[in-house]
Chain A
């Protein structure tokens, strides 16, 4: 298996632009997670899905952030409009089974820079 795939790996954009990050989870996994990593705040869970349904989005910082999972093999995280404070590395992860005890498999991340 190719593992969790994220695209793009790097994104540089200007403040106010829309940014879309993409994730393909490992085939057969039923949980998908979006995380953000910054120096100040560490690794934070933004949202997670179970069987394509959003379960907990309490970590989404504000309405500018939205996430979708239209099918079991694809998810997007969108920021509109983007701001410099959104600059971070965004990780997607997936797991199989009841999330609390199961291993999460992380993608390589998307490094976002908002100028």
Chain B
């Protein structure tokens, strides 16, 4: 079975501090990986995605993630967070299951940026 594990359900940080949100996946085949962000009372929107090529992926709002095949990880990082980054972040893996293609999401990590 293929799944996504987000190791931290909540991450509090202070404004301008660096942050890393961890994501591990389990898969025996090639994967496509995504990070989505959900601001309060809104739908999810794409931050970044890894399909192939460079293992360091840059996304919107200064976020980046690194694909590490040997550690089956896809951690999200930002060197300096803002109050406006307070949101829930979801890691997802795209896979083929039973002949159909779908995104499987992790349980999410709530990032709270404090002044």
Complex Cα–Cα for A105 and B100 (A): 19
Contact B43–A101 (Cβ < 8 Å): no
Contact A93–B96 (Cβ < 8 Å): no
Closest residue of chain B to A104 (Cβ to Cβ) is B103
Complex Cα–Cα for A100 and B49 (A): 11
Residues of A60-94 at the interface with B, using a CB-CB cut-off of 8 Å, are 91, 93
* Stretch of B12-20, B68-76, B79-87, B105-113 at the chain-chain interface: B105-113
Contact A42–B103 (Cβ < 8 Å): no
Closest residue of chain A to B34 (Cβ to Cβ) is A103
Contact A108–B42 (Cβ < 8 Å): yes
Supposing A42-B107, A43-B105, A55-B100 touch, asked if A100 and B41 sit within 8 A by C-beta, the answer is: no
Q: For residue B41, which residues in chain A have a CB less than 8 angstroms away from its CB? A: 108
Give the number of A-B contacts (CB < 8 Å).
53
Give how many B residues have a beta carbon under 8 Å from the other chain's beta carbons: 24
Closest residue of chain A to B94 (Cβ to Cβ) is A100
Contact A43–B90 (Cβ < 8 Å): yes
Complex Cα–Cα for A108 and B102 (A): 20
What 0/1 readout, one digit per residue, does chain A (6-47) give for beta carbons within 8 Å of chain B?
000000000000000000000000000000000000110100
Closest residue of chain A to B41 (Cβ to Cβ) is A108
Contact of A45 among B43, B103, B106 (CB under 8 A): B103
Complex Cα–Cα for A45 and B104 (A): 8
Other than the known A42-B106, A101-B94, A106-B44, what 12 A-B pairs have Cβ atoms closer than 8 Å? A42-B105, A43-B90, A45-B104, A48-B102, A93-B44, A98-B101, A99-B94, A100-B101, A106-B45, A108-B41, A108-B42, A109-B42
Question: Can you identify 9 A-B contacts, CB atoms within 8 angstroms?
Answer: A45-B102, A55-B100, A56-B98, A98-B101, A99-B101, A99-B102, A100-B101, A101-B32, A103-B46
